[in-house]
Structure 1
Amino acid sequence: MATLDVLPDGDRMTVTVWGELDLGSRRLLPDLYDVLALSGSGVDLRLDSVGFCDCSGVNVLLDLRVRALDQGKTVVIRSAGRAVGRLLDLTGTRELFTDAARTDGGTPRTDAARTDAAHPDGEALRADAPHADAEHTDSDTDRDHLLAEVAQLRRAMQTRPTIDLARGILMASFSLSPEAAWSVLVRTSQNTNTKLHQLARELVGTVHGSTLPEQVQRQLAAAVAGAGARGGAALCHTAGAAEDEG
Structure 2
Amino acid sequence: MPELTSQAQRLTTALHLDGKRVRVEVCGELDLDTGERLRNCLHKALSDSVQGVELDLSGVSFCDCDALDILLSLRQRALKQGKTVVVRISGGAVDRLVTVTDPRAMFADSGADGQDTAARHTQDAEASVERDEDLRTEIAQLRRAMHTRPTIDLARGILMASFGLDSEDAWAVLVAVSQNTNTKLHSLAGSLVAAVKGDPLPEGVREQLSAAVAKVDSTAGTPQLR
Q: Scaled by the length of structure 2, what TM-score is found?
A: 0.68
SS for the counterpart of 1:109 is: helix
- Give the counterpart of 1:16 among 17, 25, 29: 25
| 1:182 match | 171
1:224–1:69: structure 2 CA closer, same or farther, 3 Å change rule? Answer: same
1:75 CA drift (Å): 2.9
- Give the direction of change, closer, same or farther, for the CA distance of 1:161–1:107 in structure 2 (3 Å limit): farther
Quote the offset at 1:222 in angstroms: 2.6
Output the CA distance in 1 between the equivalents of 2:39 and 2:134.
Answer: 23
Larger deviation: 141-150 or 190-199?
141-150
Alpha-carbon distance in structure 1 between the residues aligned to 2:204 and 2:78: 50
Which runs of 5 or more residues in structure 2 are unaligned?
Answer: 1-6, 111-118
**Which structure would you say has the larger Rg?**
1
Cα distance change of structure 1 residues 74 and 163 upon mapping to structure 2, 3 Å threshold: farther
Percent identity, aligned pairs only, is 45
How far has the Cα of 1:79 moved from its partner?
0.4
SS of 2:157 mapped into structure 1: helix
CA spacing shift, 1:184–1:20, aligned 2, 3 Å = closer
Residue in structure 1 matched with residue 107 of structure 2 by the alignment: 98
Is 1:35 the equivalent of 2:42?
Answer: no
* TM-score, scaled relative to structure 1: 0.63
Q: Residues of 2 paired with 1:222 and 1:146: CA distance?
A: 34
Deviations, residues 34-65 of structure 1 (Å, cap 9, x unaligned): 322344554220122x253343xx52452242
How many equivalent pairs are there?
A: 202
In structure 2, the CA distance between the partners of 1:107 and 1:211, relative to structure 1 (3 Å rule), is farther
Give how far 1:33 is off: 0.9
Q: 3-state SS of the aligned residue for 1:156?
A: helix
3-state SS in 2 of match to 1:159: helix
Deviation at 1:201, TM superposition (A): 2.1
| Equivalent pair of 2:177/2:208 in contact (CA under 8 Å) | yes
- 2:91 aligns to what? 81
Q: Which stretch has the larger CA shift, 174-183 or 216-225?
A: 174-183
Kept after mapping to 1: 8 A contact 2:163/2:222: yes
Contact in 2 for aligned 1:36/1:68 (Cα 8 Å): no
Q: Does residue 109 in structure 1 map to residue 99 in structure 2?
A: no
C-alpha separation between the residues in 1 aligned to 2:166 and 2:38? 29
- List per-residue Cα deviations over 1:192-217 (Å, max 9, x = no partner): 23333332222122234433322112
Summarize deviations over 1:132-157 as a string: whole Å, max 9, x none. Answer: xxx6xx77655543432332232233
Letter in 2 for 1:196: L
SS in 2 for 1:212: coil
Looking at structure 2, the residues matched to 186 and 45 of structure 1 have their Cα atoms a distance apart, in angstroms, of 27
Q: 1:228 aligns with which of 203, 206, 218?
A: 218
**Alignment partner of 1:215 is 2:225:** no
RMSD over aligned CA atoms reads: 3.6
Contact 2:13 2:41 in 1 (8 A): no
Q: CA distance change for structure 1 residues 197 and 88 in 2, over 3 Å: closer, same or farther?
A: farther
Aligned partners of 2:69 and 2:136 also within 8 Å:
no
Structure 1 spans left out of the alignment, 5+ residues: 115-134, 239-246
- Output the CA distance in 1 between the equivalents of 2:50 and 2:175: 40
Within-5 A mapping of 1:35-74 = 35-39=45-49, 42-48=52-58, 50=59, 52-55=61-64, 59-72=66-79, 74=84
Given the superposition, is the C-alpha separation of residues 76 and 219 from structure 1 closer, same or farther in structure 2, using an over 3 Å criterion?
A: same
CA distance in 1, matches of 2:135, 2:93: 24
In 2, Cα distance between equivalents of 1:188 and 1:20: 23
